[in-house]
Structure 1
C-alpha cells in the first residue's frame, strides 16, 4: 500500500465528477454489475460492478495486487481504486480476478470491504493469503488517519480475514498487530505471510520504519500456528542501506527459485522508483543487490509473485495519469501488468511476456509506411536509419504486438520507437541510449516518464517485443528487462522508429494482432 498524498482525506476524495468511459481512459469490463469475463491483457475492474447509479461503483482501477495460486487457478486479489470516492467513505476494498492462463480474466467482485470511520480498516491496504490446514488467512493492512481515530490508535496495523473457500471472507475483529516498540506505527503495512521451511514456522514480513531514526526495514514476525493469532517479532529481515536510503520498502515478497532466495519490494520516492529485488543463498541472507536490481521501470509498481508450480509470474500495476492524457501526472493505480520471471545461470532475474499472452497474437498485419525523414533505407521488413532520421507507420489500433531485431551502430546518440505520432514534432518515444546504458520513456513534452538500465553494445543484435493494449505499452528486450509505459492516444495515431546521431538497423519488423 503506497503511502501517498492521495491517502489524506482532502485529496482522497478529490474527484466527485464522472469521467466518461472512453477508449483512452478505460479498458474493458461489464457495465451490468456482478461477475464478468474480461479478455483484456492489462485489465481493470468493470464499471458499475455493483450495478445501480452510485458514483462509487463507476469506473475503477487496479491497485496493489496480491496473487495466490491453487488448483490450476490464479486468484488475483487487488486493491480496487474507485474513480469517484464520496466524502466520508473509506476506500480500497479488496476485489478479485481469477485466471487459469493469465490472458483472460474473470472478475469476481468485492472480497473484503473497507470498514467505517471508527475502524482500523477505513482504508484497506496490501496483504497476502496463506493456507493453514483447511483455512485461508488473508492478512492485510488497515489504514485510518481520521483525526478522531488516531487520537487513540495507530494509523496503520495488520489485520486478518479468514475463509474456507477463497470466496466468502470473515474479518477477525479480535486480531490486530501494530508496530512494536522501536518501530513507527504511522507506517506499518503490507504483511507478506508464508511458510518458512528453514524455520519450520510461518513468517510475516511487514514494511515499516525504525523509531527513532526512520530507517526503512522489513520487520520479521513468526508464528507456529496462525490460528492462535500469536505472532512474535524477530527483528528486521532486511534494512535499507546508507547508499539506498529508501523511505519505505513496500509490498515485500519472498520466494525461492532454483538455488536462490529472492526478496522483492517497491520504492516510490528515490531516484530508481519501482520494484527492486535482492538475492541470497538462504532466506536469512546475506541479501545481495544485483548491479541492476530492477526488471522494469516506475510504470510497473508493487510487484508480488505467484507460481503455478512451473513458472513464476510478477503481478504489478501500471499507473494511470491525471489528467488522463500524455502530459498528465502519474497517479496511484491503473492497469494490471503481468511478467513471467526468468532466471540466469548466475541467479539474476529477468522477465519476458507470458507465453499465453504472446500466443494471443496470431494475425499478421501489413505495416503501412506513412512517411520518411532523413536517411532511411527500406528493404522488405528491414529498415536502416542513419544520423537523424525517422520512419512513421499507420496506426495499429488498440491491441497489437510488435516484434523485431535491432542493432546500434555506435555507442553515442539514441534510437528507438515513437508512439502518439500526430503529425507534430511532439511524440512519445522509447529511446535506447547506449552512452547512458538506459532505455528511457519520454512523453511528448520530452519529460522522462520511466527508465531502466540496460548495457548496450554496438553491432550486437537485440530482440524486442512490444505488447500494447489501449494506453498501456510494454517493451521487452532479450528476456532480460521490460519497460512499461502509459501512452494515451497511441492506438489512434501513427507510430514509428527514429535515430538521433545513430546508425539504427531494424530487421524482421512485424506487427501481429489478435483474432
Structure 2
C-alpha cells in the first residue's frame, strides 16, 4: 500500500451521561460459584479515551499496525508479524511474534525508513522469503519528490531481526507501467517455472494490474506477462475494476488450488480484501462459485490489506482494522489500527472460509457472570434460553450488563422464524444511539443478498440508521447460527458458523450494556455464555 503521509486523528466518542432505572432484573449465567460474583447492573453511559495495551487484537502501545507482512519461520516455529509502523515516522517495519495468534510477543524495529531525500524515505509494504540460509525482505521505497516515486527495494538478514539494506537492488517500473504507483512486492516460489516470481501492484494502459518478474537467484529479475485487474467482474456489487490498484497481493497454494488475494482502495463501500481462485499460478483467475453463489471476500470493510502465512498445516490471514469508525474527508477509513487475524478453512468447492483462530478461541475459558437488566417487547427466559418475538410496531430486545474486560460471547440462535435480528452495543441509559450488528437473511437490502451489517441507529424518535459496514452472510438450511463475538476495547469481531468473520470498530461499545434484539418474527437464543481470558 502507498504510505499515508498524514497523522491519524485521535478518535473520541462522547456519550450522554444520564441514567435510567433498571427493571425486570434476573441473575443468569453459570453455576453457583459464578452466580454470586458481583455484576454491574448500572446502565449509565461510560465514555473515555482508550488506555492500556491490546492483548488479543495486537496494537503497539504508542502507535498503530499498518499493512501486515506475515511470515512463518520453521526454525523456531513462530509467525513473524512484520508490519508498517504508523506513528508519524515514515512507516519503518516493525515486528511482533506469535506461535498461535492467541498471544503476541515483542515490539521491535527491524527496518528503518531511509534518510530524508532518499528513495525509501517512506517505506511501503513488501514480503519476506528465505533462500538457503539468508532471509530476503522485498519492500517499497517511496518518495513523492522523485520520478519514479516508488521502487522495489531489498534488505537481507541471517536471523529475521537484524537487516541490512541492499541499495544495489532498486527495481523500477518498466515502460508502460505506472512509474509512480509501483509497490507492494510479493515474492513466492513457482515450481512450474522453477523460479521465484514477484508480483508488483501498478497500472498498465490505465488498468490496474499486477506486474510480474521472475528470478532464479532473487537478485536478477526479468519481466514476464502481468496479471490483469479484470480477473472476474463483481456482478452483484457493481464495481468497476479496470482502473483500481490491487494492493498488497498474496499468492499461495492450498490443497490443489491456487489463491490470489489483494485489497482494493477504491474509496467506497467495497474497500476490502478479496480473493480469486485458479488451478495454476498463472491462472486463469476466477471468483469462487458454488451452489450458494459467488464468494470473494474474507470480512467486511474493517479488515484491509490482508495477507497470509502458513505453518504447513494451518493458514492465517492478517490485516488491520482502522482506528476510524466512519470515513474521513477522502471517503476512506483512516489508515492503520489493530492487527486482525482469521484462520482460513478450505471448503470442498475451493471456497475459503474465515473462522476464529483456535488458540484465540481457547484463550477465553473463564466464565463470568452476566445479568439480563431489562426487557422491551416480548421476551421470555428459561434456563439460559431466551425467546424474543418482534412487536407489531417494531423491535423487542433483552438488555444485558456491561462487560468491563475483553470477553468472548458465545450463543446459538435459531432464526427459523425470523429474517431480521442481531445485537446492539452502547445500549446504555434510554439509548437514543446504538451500534447494531444486524443479521439480514433477506435479499431485499441494497446488496440484494443475505448479509451482516453494522449500523449506527438513532432510536427513540431519532432519524433511522446509517450503514457503516457489511459482509455477505451464508444462511444454513436450518437457519441456526452458532455465534462467537470477541470484544476488546473498541474492536468487535463476530464469527458465524465458522464460515463468516465480521470485524468492526465501535467506540461506544466499550464497557457499556448491550442487547440481543429481533425486528421481525421470533428467535430463540440458547447457551449464552460470557467468558474472559484466564
TM range (shorter): 0.7 to 0.9
> Which whole-Å deviations, capped at 9, do the CAs of 1:93-120 have from their partners, x for residues lacking one?
1000011222221124111111123111
Residues 497-512 of structure 1: pairs in structure 2 closer than 5 A = 497-512=516-531
1-side partners of 2:158 and 2:188: how far apart?
18
Q: Supply the distance in 1 between the matched residues of 2:404 and 2:333 (Cα, whole angstroms).
A: 24
User: Matches of 1:169 and 1:457 in 2, distance apart?
Assistant: 49
Structure 1 position 96 matched with structure 2 position 95: yes
Give the equivalent residue in structure 2 for 1:451.
470
Q: Which moved more, 1:434-443 or 1:339-348?
A: 434-443
Q: Give the 3 Å change call, closer, same or farther, for CA 312–159 of structure 1 in structure 2.
A: same
In structure 1, distance between residues paired with 2:343 and 2:494: 13
Contact 1:322 1:329 in 2 (8 A): no
- Paired residue secondary structure (1:415): strand
Note closer, same or farther for the CA distance 1:15–1:318 as it changes in structure 2 (3 Å cut): closer
**1:365-444 alignment, distance < 5 Å:** 365-387=368-390, 388-410=395-417, 412=419, 414-423=420-429, 424-436=431-443, 437-444=450-457
Shift in CA distance, 131/43, structure 1 to aligned 2, threshold 3 Å = same
Alignment partner of 2:259 out of 235, 254, 262: 262
2:50 maps to 25
Q: CA 1:506–1:164 in 2, change beyond 3 Å: closer, same or farther?
A: same
Determine if contact 2:11/2:324 at 8 Å carries over to the other structure.
no
Q: Secondary structure at the match of 1:368?
A: strand
Residue 225 of structure 1 corresponds to 217
Is the 8 Å Cα contact of residues 326 and 468 (structure 2) preserved in structure 1?
no
Deviation (angstroms), 1:459:
5.0
**Which of these residues, 55, 72, 79, is aligned with residue 74 of structure 1?**
79
Cα distance change on mapping 1:346 and 1:242 into 2, 3 Å? closer
1:196-246 deviations in Å (ceiling 9; x for gaps): 111110010011111x3x2111111100111xx211111212422583433
- Counterparts of residues 84-483 of structure 1 (less than 5 Å): 85=88, 91-145=90-144, 149-150=145-146, 153-210=147-204, 212=205, 214-226=206-218, 229-241=219-231, 243=233, 244-246=239-241, 247-269=244-266, 270-290=268-288, 291-321=294-324, 330-387=333-390, 388-410=395-417, 412=419, 414-423=420-429, 424-436=431-443, 437-444=450-457, 446-456=465-475, 459-483=478-502
SS in 2 for 1:158: strand
CA contact (8 A) 2:232 2:285 kept: no
TM-aligned CA deviation for residue 505 of structure 1? 1.8
1:421/1:165 Cα in 2 relative to 1: closer, same or farther (>3 Å)? same
Tell me the TM-score normalized by structure 1. Answer: 0.86
Please give the alpha-carbon distance, in whole angstroms, between the structure 2 residues aligned to 1:26 and 1:337.
19
8 Å Cα contact 2:199-2:213 kept in structure 1: yes
Instruction: After TM superposition, give the deviation of residue 323 of structure 1 in Å.
Output: 9.1
Encode CA deviations 1:449-508: one digit per residue, 9 max, x unaligned: 211111436752111111111111100011111100111132310011111123222111
Flag structure 1 segments of 5+ consecutive residues without an equivalent. Answer: 29-38, 47-58
In 2: Cα distance, 1:111 partner to 1:457 partner: 45
Q: How far is 1:366 from its partner? A: 1.8
Residues 229, 246 of structure 2: 8 Å contact kept: no
For structure 2, the 5+ residue unaligned runs are 13-46, 234-238, 289-293, 444-449, 459-464
| Counterpart secondary structure, 1:357 | helix
Taking a change above 3 Å as real, the CA distance of residues 13 and 368 of structure 1, as seen in their structure-2 partners, is closer
Q: Indicate how the Cα distance of structure 1 residues 17 and 357 shifts in structure 2: closer, same or farther if over 3 A, else same.
A: closer
Alpha-carbon shift at residue 407 of structure 1 (Å): 2.3
Aligned residue in 1 for 2:36: none
Secondary structure in 2 matching 1:162: strand
Report the count of equivalent residues: 466
Secondary structure of residue in 1 paired with 2:220? coil
Q: CA offsets per residue over residues 238-291 of structure 1, 9 Å max, x none?
A: 422583433111100011111111111011225422110011111111111121
Q: What TM-score do the two structures reach when normalised by structure 2?
A: 0.83
User: Structure 1's 411 and 218: CA in aligned 2 closer, same or farther, altered over 3 A?
Assistant: farther
TM-superposed deviation, 1:393: 0.2
Q: Distance between the aligned counterparts of 1:302 and 1:66, measured in 2?
A: 9
- Could you say which residue in structure 2 is the equivalent of 1:494? 513
Tell me the residue number matched to 1:34: none
Q: Which moved more, 1:332-341 or 1:485-494?
A: 485-494
Question: In the superposition, relative to structure 1, how do residues 112 and 340 fare at CA in structure 2: closer, same or farther (>3 Å)?
Answer: same
How many angstroms apart in 2 are the aligned matches of 1:133 and 1:215?
Answer: 37
Q: 1:27 to 1:435 in 2, by over 3 A?
A: farther
C-alpha separation between the residues in 2 aligned to 1:323 and 1:109?
30
SS of residue paired to 2:168 = coil
Q: Alpha carbons of 1:188 and 1:461: their partners in 2 closer, same or farther (altered >3 Å)?
A: same
